[in-house]
């Protein structure tokens, strides 16, 4: 519950912090650190993905290149949180329509 005695700016900061330090860790745990799913839900701007530089040794050893994911905390804004919620609501509505 959002504290009532906060200004609008403080409420936004409170929500962003809740998202960063409570919601995202819960999502990481829920998806067992499956960063691809996290990126699908949160978007490319919040979960960035970089591929490690190609190593020719890996090709010969039959290993795949490794992707490196990270949460870009500076990109978490109120507008992005609203967009995430709106997009996920639309996906849920589509899933319900498909089930009918």
Q: pLDDT digits over 33-47, tens only? A: 799 899 988 998 899
pTM for this one?
0.72
* Owning domain of residue 62: 8-99
- Exposed (0-12), middle (13-18) or buried (19+): which is 60, by Cβ within 10 Å? exposed
Look at residue 64 and tell me if it is in a domain: yes
Look at residue 2 and tell me if it is in a domain: no
Look at residue 1 and tell me if it is in a domain: no
Long-range contact set of residues 12-15: C-beta below 8 Å, sequence gap at least 24: 12/78, 15/78, 15/81
The pLDDT of residue 55 is 63
Look at residue 29 and tell me if it is in a domain: yes
Look at residue 31 and tell me if it is in a domain: yes
Contact 75, 46 (CB under 8 A): yes
Look at residue 37 and tell me if it is in a domain: yes
Domain count, the chain: 1
The pLDDT of residue 42 is 92
Ranges in the chain, pLDDT < 70? 52-65, 100
Look at residue 3 and tell me if it is in a domain: no
Look at residue 95 and tell me if it is in a domain: yes
């Amino acid at each position: 519950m959002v504290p009532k005695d906060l200004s609008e700016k403080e409420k936004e900061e409170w929500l962003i912090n809740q998202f960063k330090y409570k919601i995202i860790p819960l999502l990481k745990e829920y998806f067992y650190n499956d960063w691809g799913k996290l990126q699908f839900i949160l978007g490319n701007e919040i979960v960035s993905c970089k591929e490690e530089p190609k190593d020719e040794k890996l090709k010969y050893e039959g290993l795949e290149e490794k992707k490196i994911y990270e949460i870009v905390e500076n990109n978490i804004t109120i507008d992005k949180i609203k967009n995430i919620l709106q997009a996920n609501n639309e996906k849920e509505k589509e899933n319900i329509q498909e089930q009918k």
